[in-house]
Amino acid sequence: MAVPLAEELNPWESQEHLFDEAARHLKLASGLVKVLREPNKEIILHIPVQMDNGELELFTGYRVQHSIARGPCKGGLRYHPDVTLDEVRALASWMTWKCAVVNIPFGGAKGGVVCDPKKLSKAELERITRRYTAELLDYLGPERDVPAPDVNTDEQTMAWIMDTYSMHVRHTSTASVTGKPLDLGGSRGRQEATGRGCMIVCDEALKKFRMSRDRTRVIIQGFGNVGSEAARSLHSEDYRVIGIAELSGGIYNSRGLDIPALFDYKARNGTILGFPESEPYDPYELLCADCDILLPAATENQITSANADRLRAKIVCEGANGPTTFAADEILQQKGLFVIPDILANAGGVTVSYFEWVQDRQGYFWTLPQVRERLERVMRATFYDVMNYAAKHDVRPRIAAYMLAIDRVAFAIQLRGIYA
């Protein structure tokens, strides 16, 4: 069924379509569906910031808290000129389902500030971050809402948030954020976690289809934190990464790219373009190139009704949040592609964020092998939880993941009851 393009590309509309389909299969009471469907809180901020030139500028910020049924809210903070409330709302709801599907005791939240970090100094970014945090003090904290890095934010951003929060509560609160520097209570293995989690679920998909790593060709969209760490993890386990697409261009080598050398090349040159022993490739066409696994690890709405029927991958592992629109998802299902949905595939990040929160609250920190072993245990168990749910209810993996997550949140709400 054709849908208007604006509706297809609206992440909140896309999330709602998938939620509604899963909720129908679960046959939940209509009142409970209403509660689960809508965010608990949506906060819009207008943040005054004095710029380096002395002028006063006003930035718009958002924080959406979707659910607190299973624990404090958890979710990233992104800085981007195209941030919208609908985008943040969708990302917050995806976080609720992601935390529930891997069965960790968090609800979902997300934040964003409308700005272009490339045009801002480090001092200006710090002032935006601290004012944003101060405006949200009543809503943040280890037992309320725990931010993390996202698009254009990093461990330095989290250090500023942690310090601002700590100064106001008059004690150092390391568990108030995750994704921090190691020296401030960060966790080993956090930076690699989302990409490594993608590799773990790819391993399980290969077992399902009796494929071998060394003969599996992978194309990755995006070479930021998720894409680059996925490439590193996959390459280290003998997968053949044959293509990488970025906004500025793509690179391709049918024999496989030397990923450690590519990291060195990008560190020296600031780009992957021109990497030796690769040929340039149109980044949009690279998504449709012949491969075994396509791993979109950039932003939302990369696989749409305009290109879904041209995909030639056997497996799609969604490293990004919402990379496939609901209209495209139907096309992929009809084509018979096996999709590892985002709320499962990229849940490694929030899983290790949970590990960081636990370590901060204990004041006792784990080794990298311990973090990796526990992450692997969670991701593998969740993969089979979702596959078993899909088989039991005769639905595709994406809807199975939603159903499993929604069912867990609904059960928590019913156990708690409605306070009146």
Active-site positions read 110
Measured CA to CA, the distance from residue 9 to residue 301 in angstroms comes to: 6
Measured CA to CA, the distance from residue 409 to residue 400 in angstroms comes to: 14
For the chain, the first-to-last Cα distance in angstroms comes to 42
**Could you give the 3-state DSSP secondary structure of residue 20?**
helix
Q: CB–CB of 106/70 below 8 Å?
A: yes
**Orientation angle between helical segments 368-393 and 193-209, nearest 10 degrees:** 50
Residue 129 buriedness (CB in 10 A; 0-12 / 13-18 / 19+): buried
Q: CB–CB of 412/29 below 8 Å?
A: no
Q: Any alpha helices (H) in 10-84, and if so which ranges?
A: 11-26, 30-37
Q: CB–CB of 200/376 below 8 Å?
A: yes
Closest CA to 139 of 171, 119, 118, 109: 109
